[in-house]
Chains A and B, each alone.
Chain A
Amino acid sequence: AQSVTQLDSQVPVFEEAPVELRCNYSSSVSVYLFWYVQYPNQGLQLLLKYLSGSTLVKGINGFEAEFNKSQTSFHLRKPSVHISDTAEYFCAVSMNTGFQKLVFGTGTRLLVSP
């Protein structure tokens, strides 16, 4: 079975500063990895995904993530955040064969202040 750990429940950062949201996963088989964002009173929106190929994945809104198989990590980064990036961020994993049920982490709340 797969599992996802997001160690930071909340990350405060100032506007225009860089940010990294950490995600580690556990799986005995190859996986697909995803980052979703949830703004207040909304559903989840896909930021980016890793299926195969290049380990550096670029997503929407200037976010990127790097898949590190040896460290079983998929950390999310942005070089310069905006106030509008304040939201909840979820890392998720699924097996890359068979039915692809998503397993989510507990989420990290990114708080961007001026």
Chain B
Amino acid sequence: ETGVTQTPRHLVMGMTNKKSLKCEQHLGHNAMYWYKQSAKKPLELMFVYSLEERVENNSVPSRFSPECPNSSHLFLHLHTLQPEDSALYLCASSQVTGGSREQYFGPGTRLTVT
């Protein structure tokens, strides 16, 4: 595997389900991000982990719970979601110190809440 991978690519869940999204980066980066991309809205930054410590939490509802067990893996745990949470969830990684600063994105998980 190369770059940033995300699983699953598609997920349909009911409002009472619990599921998790997984992201893995193979680039040796030390920062990871979760974004939400909804139709006709700007990309929304949800969470940032830098050196495995959460450094940003943009007023995201508690039904979204991130976890970063190490610098290569990032999870987004989902529970009791709402239909308006249906979106494309993108994971990204970057090198915080030095480097060229850009973020590398995974292909995303298309989430549909029914």
Contacts and interface: CB of A to CB of B under 8 A. Distances in A.
A70 interface: no
A75 to B, nearest CB: 19
A1 B41 CA distance: 19
A69 interface: no
Interface residues of A, number: 21
Interface string A91-108: 000100001111011110
A102 B103 contact: yes
Contact of B105 (A41, A45, A94): A45
Interface string A21-59: 000000000001010100001111110010100000000
B100 A43 contact: no
Give the size range of B's interface with the partner: 20 to 34
Contacts of B55: 99
B101 A46 contact: no
A83 B102 CA distance: 27
A67 interface: no
B101 A100 contact: yes
A89 interface: no
Given A44-B90, A101-B56, A104-B42, A49 B100 contact: yes
Given A99-B50, A99-B55, A100-B94, A46 B43 contact: no
B96 A99 contact: yes
A71 to B, nearest CB: 22
Interface in A50-85: 51
* Residue of B50, B102, B106 ringed by the most chain A CB atoms within 10 A: B102
A104 B50 CA distance: 19
Interface of A: 32, 34, 36, 41-46, 49, 51, 90, 94, 99-102, 104-107
